[in-house]
Structure 1
């Protein structure tokens, strides 16, 4: 077995909220496993539920041996995602709308950054907060999203960049890390990816007779994703190495148009 133990969380995220998220992950991964979708599945040796100990909330999974000779191939990984979306489309579980965006934490983290001018300049933080005022209603409300994007169907999605969460096992690639699974547009799973990977997704979707990505919705999820990166700066005091990881993306956000150029 392998234990997954989240250790760095936004202060606004309670263990109860984390446990709910982990239960969605366990249930979705188990269901996909039962349908024959190649995933890392929960262990059958323990109850399929989160465990609590010493202030941590964790889950247990089947051990999958890694193919250490496999080279990362994000184009190939992205070409696998339309098949995952097709499988998830029939998932019967009740999932929250765009919970992967974590709007409550987004608001709290942007507020906390007011106390950290060492992490983000006040003018940049002001821009981020104004962008969030524009985007937040569409993240929090399914009705508002559907009004803005009436031609973008919603379905269960992975929630956390699935091309980066395909595990190279000795038995082949396995989908993993469904902790942010939720109801949303398929574009959410492609947020922040370069054009060549977006094109790889569309090419694979066409070959399978599936829907290609809507560029307007992709602009929206990219804008939310970039703002999520800015808000994550609030976690740098807890995990200092995040700073170096986040800085290039924050610089890209600063150089880009307000709210990704969206006309909402």
Structure 2
């Protein structure tokens, strides 16, 4: 978020928590993109604050969290001291979550695979209306194909991303018999190592598709610990995931920090992933 909007988002998160009886003496910006995550001190709440245009996504994330909490999934939980819902204030949608202090070192591939499989087992136990991954792919492709939405994307790179989004998506969209609910983006940045063990966060990306789509977000070695995984499909999904990531970065209104770096890095990763699965 731009500085002026970020200040309003911080105040909206602080004021919402304070009015609900939580003590807020300080606010620490944990993550700043098109949505922000704020650590509220000393009540130890993580406030997720998004522009009101993301209200539906925020409400969906809360619903996913509530369903998964009922089946003991290894995910971050909403703060139990307040009503589990999305609050609206000053054109922002605000949800309040338990803050987990990160501990220890990086999660090992074996432990990553363990929490990954436990999470997907929990996802199979809930009934939730969620979009298919091909819906997300189609949305990213529209951003790439619309020059007004991605005006700085060069023609060769536009062709690269268009092909990367349309090719592998056909492979995962034809046979849906093995599809299930997915996290959507279970990459290392969305896995916290806490005193409770590793927990997945950022649940708004929950969707339906093959498990390999989620595995493609994890480090390479994680898939080796997941019996029955289709490694060729993982490679194709990894190219697809990087293509979607790049499509979002080339949006005219994208606000990810260090966007220029990630624009270049994303395209490089797409090329590398396509070469790896033999479609470059």
Task: Give me the TM-score of the superposition, normalised by structure 2.
Answer: 0.70
Whether 1:122 and 2:148 are equivalent positions in the alignment is no
Unaligned runs of 5+ in 2: 1-44
Separation in structure 2 between the aligned mates of residue 89 and residue 223 of structure 1, nearest angstrom: 26
1:209 alignment counterpart:
none
Q: CA deviation at 1:128?
A: 2.0
> What's the secondary structure of 1:59's corresponding residue?
strand
> What's the secondary structure of 1:61's corresponding residue?
strand
Separation in structure 2 between the aligned mates of residue 173 and residue 195 of structure 1, nearest angstrom: 18
Sort the Cα spacing of 1:21 and 1:240 in 2 relative to 1 into closer, same or farther, 3 A.
closer
1:104 alignment counterpart:
139
Is this contact kept in 1: 2:140–2:248, CA < 8 A?
no
Separation in structure 2 between the aligned mates of residue 55 and residue 220 of structure 1, nearest angstrom: 39
Residues 151-204 of structure 1: CA deviation (Å, up to 9, x unaligned): x5111111112544222223332222211011121112112444322213x2xx
Is this contact kept in 2: 1:98–1:184, CA < 8 A?
yes
RMSD, aligned α-carbons: 3.1
Residues 120-170 of structure 1: CA deviation (Å, up to 9, x unaligned): 43222223224434456677xxxxx2xx336x5111111112544222223
Separation in structure 2 between the aligned mates of residue 67 and residue 124 of structure 1, nearest angstrom: 38
Select the residue among 216, 219, 222 that pairs with 1:191: 216
The higher-RCO structure (CA 8 Å, 6+ apart) is 1
> What's the secondary structure of 2:204's corresponding residue?
coil
Sort the Cα spacing of 1:155 and 1:114 in 2 relative to 1 into closer, same or farther, 3 A.
closer
Whether 1:245 and 2:258 are equivalent positions in the alignment is no
Sort the Cα spacing of 1:165 and 1:233 in 2 relative to 1 into closer, same or farther, 3 A.
closer
Which has more strand, going by share of residues? 2
Separation in structure 2 between the aligned mates of residue 45 and residue 100 of structure 1, nearest angstrom: 35
Sort the Cα spacing of 1:250 and 1:162 in 2 relative to 1 into closer, same or farther, 3 A.
closer
Is this contact kept in 1: 2:107–2:193, CA < 8 A?
no
Unaligned runs of 5+ in 1: 8-13, 140-144, 207-211
Is this contact kept in 2: 1:131–1:258, CA < 8 A?
no
Task: Give me the TM-score of the superposition, normalised by structure 1.
Answer: 0.73
